[in-house]
Chain A
Amino acid sequence: MIRDFEGVIIKTVCRAVTPFIQLYGLYVIAHGHYSPGGGFQGGCILAASLILMALAYDIKEVKKQLSEKLNTIFCSLGVIIYAGIGLLCLILGANYLDYGILYKILPVDAAHARSLGILGVEIGVGFTVMAVMISIFLNIASGGQHEEGEER
């Protein structure tokens, strides 16, 4: 399906607009404390920017920017970040995922330690959602072959 086609305007506009979409996705993740948004939505927006590249160019262009091995590492890195923050709280002496105890290793008080714990968790969710959405799209759109597709 995803094959290289001749469209100068589409290619140029997609390549020009992709960094702004990624910047907006990072803003949504980082600003989730103050406005609607969070890890899930920001991860989806970050994945949508690379899906746009896959639709405008081909799959090789996406794999040049984010290789499959790195994408698979990102898939599990998010879950590891999430569970690791919970385990850090457990090691420091509180319950699992009780971020208030993080003030022992961070230079802030307990309430702001909870805020920073929420931020770390959102970053983990964003990693996992971005990598999984890109992986599912590439697998579905190319039938698992990960090449630009057969000619039809």
Chain B
Amino acid sequence: MIWQLDIILLIIVVICALAAISVKDLLSSAILFGAYSFLLCLVWAEMGAVDVAFTEATVGAGISTAFFIGAIYHTSRRTKD
């Protein structure tokens, strides 16, 4: 539990979350969501919850990003709003 590392990781997590909901390109949004998941996995591992971090890394950063990319190819790539 190092609080400087915590602060840096949480700031990048918030930046990634804000970028993922504000970017117009859906593929970039999916990749940013994967980066957000992976940084959250680092936060879990840094807090000592290694099993949760492993689940977050496999499901959040691995599988769900592939699902999003598979779904994006069936719709238009850019959002309207």
Contact = CB atoms under 8 A, between A and B. Distances in A.
Given A48-B62, A141-B73, A136 B54 contact: no
A140 B71 contact: yes
B17 interface: no
Contacts of B51: 36-38
Contact of A55 (B59, B62, B66): B66
Contacts of A36: 50-51, 53-54
B58 A44 contact: yes
Contacts of B53: 36
A133 B58 CA distance: 12
Contact of A1 (B54, B58, B67, B73): B73
- Most chain B CB within 10 A, of A38, A41, A48, A136, is at A41
Nearest to B49: A36
B58 A141 contact: no
A93 interface: no
Given A41-B58, A44-B59, A136 B67 contact: yes
A48 B55 CA distance: 13
Interface in A31-62: 36-38, 40-41, 44-45, 47-48, 51, 55
Interface of B: 50-51, 53-55, 58-59, 62-63, 66-67, 70-71, 73-74
Interface of A: 1, 36-38, 40-41, 44-45, 47-48, 51, 55, 133, 136-137, 140-141, 143
Given A37-B51, A44-B59, 15 more contacts: A1-B73, A36-B50, A36-B51, A36-B53, A38-B51, A40-B55, A41-B54, A41-B58, A44-B62, A45-B58, A45-B62, A51-B63, A55-B66, A133-B63, A143-B74
Q: Which 7 A-B pairs rank lowest in CB-CB distance, beginning with the nearest?
A: A141-B70, A1-B73, A44-B58, A36-B50, A140-B70, A36-B51, A36-B54
